[in-house]
Structure 1
């Protein structure tokens, strides 16, 4: 069976766009289920629900179909056990590789995965020539075999993978699964139960670097080439260099998973070990009384703290699985885009703001119709160049921008937007934050500071009706206190003399009843007992 991995020279991304993609139809045009780019809310694609605890409801298709199962999930005790010795990983060169690009090969893959307890998974995504993006490749590794699934070829046949991905008895290891979980839901209707995210484990271990590139160096002493991280994964046949890169994303995940469980446990097997700078750099210190310096050697039997640390990774990973794909509205996308420009310090007058919003809407509309990414239709750089000059003549619009294929095709529409923007009365652009700070600093030297108004007295609850608990709280409060007679008439309050103030004293209530007989005041001069009128209410007022 041809693997599709014949060696040939890898063309650059620019040459590939120019020589192949402009001539060949997009792969998404061959999908049986056509991609729609409308703004309707996303509804899940599940046709059946394997491993369900709560029956699938077709009426609530806007909700996460495995929300109930995920909230009930807890990893089996066998997954929490720490291996005394982790078998070393097999080299990539000696591991079988199977390319899955037919339904027969997919059925063979499914049978093999259902017999596993731990697998590593990763996806390769493309977002430049599609409005929402498409998943181009899926890599799955067991402890003996590496699989690469051509998702573009099997786009409409991958949902049975839920038998594996939703099985709570199979651990799915991802590295940074936040985007992968969303792509699986959007493109194939695949959900994940029992996820171990190595990114979450790296966070708990205190690593400053948490990417797969670092984990491969730290645990496997393997250096990978990041050249193809942003490559165009729609290329068929795949060059051998890209095949090797894709395999390495999952080939070592099972080994890293076992090693990270050891490290998560060992941080607590000898007590609470402090995270040192060496640990944060990715080189955890070995406990002094460990018998062996090898990280894959025997370790102390599992204790409660170590198990809780390992279990925390599953809990954090479950939160990732509960994420749900959602389609943003045009208003939400523009608000996010405009906020990013504000953070960059970009300022616009009312003409430019109108043109920016209209061109943003035009770009989004064209991208939806042609199934292109908005960035591919018009870059942010070109958009800002157009609104910064607002040329009156249509031909002048093309001057300050590059790659204006779509701009040339829709030039009359863009010119109409600019004409309407120019008709708006211009207003001065808002003052930047730096200018505001400078003006504020200059005015501060000329204008004297304004004195603050005196603070109002804060009343404390009526002591006569308070409880013993409140009295104890008052006992602990050291403040300036004055006694005020509240039994007099309101019109007499202004005429009465102010009560004598006792500076920095501690009020101690000997007894709390409905009526207070006396108040004991403790000050630097000694203890003094002052009588309180039985027929009058007494209230303490905090003068601080």
Structure 2
């Protein structure tokens, strides 16, 4: 207790001294002192950065023990903006301290966790342990330690070639590609392209059941003896399922960490992190066997990883991902297929686990096994559906042919070394792909710092065999390029997430930034460099060749087709002399007057048929007709009616039914009352008295009858209205003759509208108001005043002793 008291006194004294010093500094005019002494301003900024870093560390440590999330403090203004987050962390810590004191004094008792909960927490922590600082790297114990500084083409790792149609010696001969780079061919290219899928692939068959997942297990292959036993059993299978687990967070190029293989009745989990991992090359005896069908899901990267780490190649691939796309499923993931065909829920949260951890936990072991245990059964269902929905005779509707073709193209993928191009940043590891996807505006100094920091990060990652993102995230590279820090406190403030390697090599990075900033004063501009790269990527954009400063051959240019294009206003679009679609329909002058447009990568959604010159050539018949002189067009001459030849009154209409026959209508009463006028009869059409003056079709007869009947009804109504008006005028005239003239309205004796209700009441008492007439409300000048919008209620203020939030 005495030791705690002394510690408390020491801390209190230090806090009091610090508070008094801060108060004195706050009372001084810092802005004025900075203007007088620039060195003072530099020292103050350095101390501000140091205090912010300390505050950030305190918040992160406090947040790790609380339920709140620690805010970021990149600058002084962020303290005021994120003050609520700081208060949340302090409140959470105080609440936990209060609970701990209550537990210590015995006020409350904490429930002890069960054994299952402790075991689950321990295993879940081990699943994602890639952030541990002292985790031993398995690649350091490999017989062939990965080298990250290779140049040239990737030489296959194979030492022998099973099931070969072309000898291995022929496959190891290097060649020069179109860019002049040295490359090695795919060892099994001929075997894959000439591979014929078995006849069972085109036959509908009942899906074979899979062994129960709960009552069976997988064999773990981690010794050469277990590998030999597995290989012997795999050679007897007709179909196998393969899947891989890859790790790329703590290594530069990544490494294959686990392999799952399943047959119809057995599963294997292969440890690919053993020092003798290159001995797994013997699996080519099965993987390259054309008599064994290999089923994988989303094998695009799996094919590359097998080549890079183990020297394995796949002949006879069926990719269920391409099958899911061809069948139009809403999703193409393996979890979706397992749920659809097997009703198995895959725990995909383990997909991001650290697969380097040994021994494997039960959860990771079951998850890895499930990826291939059901895959052959899923393949049976998808093959049957592809056959049922395909037309083998129509190439446009042959879905299974498209899936097999795409699977072959996936199996032909080749791995290439990630060579860094520091000048133009091309390639998978270069800076061009990163900056082309980010809308930034750098001056020459910032652009020089950006390239230098990106190159430094790549060099350190290759030396330490770490991923570039583990050393420094991409957004930190942009932040450093904008701020161009020249001291460690500012560098750590800008970076925010400081990795152990970055903290260790901070001085080296600061010197790199300083040299790049000085070199950037006369360096290239970002937009100029992007234009130069665009000219290298698209040589057809200009008639001249690429700039002489561009390298004649770099492996990074192999990825020009995959790298995104930068559209700028000053970049002309590539143009050809003739259109490959429209041919020579446009003249040279019209094509020369086109406006320059941005560089756009346009692709059509539907494939077009092959266009040849014969399509645009004019047919011989059309060309011959174009030479025939055409007769001149005769002009129309007006001929008066009197001079026109008489028309032939005869008609060729045959008799179907006499007009009006069979369509008797009761309109005699209407015809007796009124007769149609001549104009109305002309509008309706000719009448018929029973004898056929014209012979018409039955439909025309019905239409004519309806029109005549409608006209008769309208005429009858007009006549009735006319008679009614005559009668009313006669009655009015009779009343006027009798001397009963209508009295004029007397406005002086008329009741006021303001007394309408009173007059109404008097009339009601006198019996003059009729009871069957609806009561007239009369005039009310103030009736609408209550319809206005009501205002907000008066705010209730808190008084002394009263609280709106807490009740006592």
Corresponding residue for residue 258 of structure 2: 137
Matched, 1:162 2:279: no
Deviation for aligned residue 1:359:
1.0
Aligned-partner SS, 2:630 = strand
Shift of 1:308: 4.5
Picking from 388, 391, 394, the partner of 1:266 is 388
Matched, 1:472 2:621: yes
Which of the residues 116, 125, 129 maps onto 1:16?
Answer: 129
Matches within 5 A, 1:400-411: 400-401=494-495, 402-411=497-506
- Aligned pairs for 1:281-320 within 5 A: 304=393, 308-320=398-410
Relative to 1, partners in 2 of residues 1:380 and 1:308: Cα closer, same or farther, differing over 3 Å?
same
1:127 aligns with 2:248: yes
1:430 is displaced (CA, Å) by: 6.5
- Within a 5 Å distance, the mapping from 1:187-198 to structure 2 comes to 187-198=309-320
Q: 1:238 aligns with which of 330, 338, 360?
A: 360
SS, match of residue 262 in structure 1: helix
Corresponding position of 2:46: none
1: CA distance between counterparts of 2:633 and 2:493? 85
CA contact (8 A) 2:260 2:368 kept: yes
**Partner residue of 1:425 out of 500, 503, 521:** 521
In the alignment, structure 1 residue 348 sits paired with structure 2 residue 442: yes
> Equivalences for 1:196-215 in 2 at 5 Å?
196-215=318-337
Match of 2:157 in 1: 45
Q: How does 1:422-461 map to 2 (within 5 A)?
A: 422-423=517-518, 424-425=520-521
43, 52, 76: which is aligned to 2:198?
Answer: 76
CA distance in 2, matches of 1:51, 1:81: 26
Structure 1 residues 115 and 382 mapped into 2: Cα distance closer, same or farther (>3 Å)? same
* 3-state SS in 1 of match to 2:494: coil
Residue 521 of structure 2 aligns to a residue in which SS? Answer: coil
Equivalent of residue 89 in structure 1, options 210, 220, 224: 210
Alignment CA distance shift 1:456-1:130 (3 Å): closer
Q: Any idea what the Cα deviations from partners look like across 1:158-192, whole Å, max 9, x if unmatched? A: 00000000000101000010000000000010000
C-alpha separation in 1, matches of 2:236 and 2:429: 48
Higher relative contact order, chain-length normalized (CA < 8 Å, sep 6+): 1
Give the aligned partner of residue 330 of structure 1: 420
Structure 1 gap segments, 5+ residues each:
1-6, 270-302, 438-453, 459-467, 476-506, 510-518, 527-544
Kept in 2, the 8 Å contact 1:80–1:311? The answer is no
Cross-structure match for 1:390 = 484
Kept after mapping to 1: 8 A contact 2:390/2:400: no
Kindly tell me: are residues 18 and 52 of structure 1, through their superposed partners in 2, closer, same or farther at Cα, counting changes over 3 Å?
closer
Deviations 1:429-480 (Å, cap 9, x if unpaired)?
879x99989xxxxxxxxxxxxxxxx99699xxxxxxxxx97542446xxxxx
Q: How does 1:31-42 map to 2 (within 5 A)?
A: 31-40=142-151, 41-42=153-154
TM-score by length of 2: 0.48
2:173 equivalent in structure 1 = 60
**Aligned match of 1:412 in 507, 529, 546?**
507
- Mapped partners of 2:590, 2:247: distance in 1: 65
Shift of 1:28: 0.9
**The residue matched to 2:214 in structure 1 has which SS?**
helix
**Alpha-carbon distance in 1 for matches of 2:590, 2:339:** 64
Q: Matches of 2:221 and 2:526 in 1, distance apart?
A: 58
> What is the alpha-carbon distance in structure 1 between the residues aligned to residue 157 and residue 217 of structure 2?
33
Partner in structure 1 of residue 469 of structure 2: 375
1:188-224 deviations in Å (ceiling 9; x for gaps) = 1000000000011112112231111111122222221
SS in 2 for 1:144: coil
What's the counterpart of residue 37 of structure 2? none
Change (3 A) 1:143 1:455: closer
**Quick one: structure 1 residues 317 and 268, their matched pair in 2 at CA, closer, same or farther if it must change by over 3 Å?**
closer
Q: Deviations over 1:314-348 (max 9, x none)?
A: 22111111111011321234785433333232232
Check 1:168–1:398 CA distance in 2 against 1; reply closer, same or farther (3 A cut).
same
Q: Give the 3 Å change call, closer, same or farther, for CA 428–323 of structure 1 in structure 2.
A: closer
- When Rg is computed on C-alpha atoms for both structures, the one with the higher figure is 2
3-state SS of the aligned residue for 2:352?
coil
1:311: Cα distance to partner?
3.3
Aligned counterpart for 1:321 among listed residues 411, 414, 423: 411
Tell me, yes or no, if the aligned pair for 1:349 and 1:430 is still in contact at 8 Å: no
Q: Secondary structure at the match of 1:185?
A: helix
1:522 Cα deviation (Å)? Answer: 5.3
> Greater strand percent: which structure?
1
Choose between structure 1 and 2: higher helix proportion.
2
Match of 2:629 in 1: 520
The answer as to whether partners of 2:201 and 2:383 remain within 8 angstroms in 1 is no
Task: Give CA-to-partner distance per residue, 1:61-114, whole Å, 9 cap, x none.
Answer: 62111111112111121333220x213333311233111111111111001100
Displacement after TM superposition at 1:23 (Å): 2.5
Q: Which sections of structure 2, spanning at least 5 residues, go unmatched?
A: 1-118, 175-183, 529-565, 571-586, 592-616, 636-808
Q: Do 1:391 and 1:418's aligned partners in 2 also have CA atoms closer than 8 Å?
A: yes
RMSD: 3.1
1:97–1:358 distance in 2 versus 1, CA, 3 Å: same
State how far apart, in whole Å, the 2-side matches of 1:160 and 1:167 are: 12
Offset, 1:14: 9.2
CA distance in 2, matches of 1:337, 1:93: 49
The answer to whether residue 456 in structure 2 is matched with residue 362 in structure 1 is yes
CA distance in 2 between counterparts of 1:305 and 1:118 reads 28
Task: Give the aligned partner of residue 269 of structure 2.
Answer: 148
Q: Call closer, same or farther: CA 1:375–1:255 in 2, change over 3 Å.
A: same
The aligned counterpart of 1:480 is none
Q: In 1, Cα distance between the equivalents of 2:297 and 2:403?
A: 12
Gap change, CA 1:415 and 1:336, over 3 Å in 2: closer
Q: TM-score, normalised by structure 1?
A: 0.71
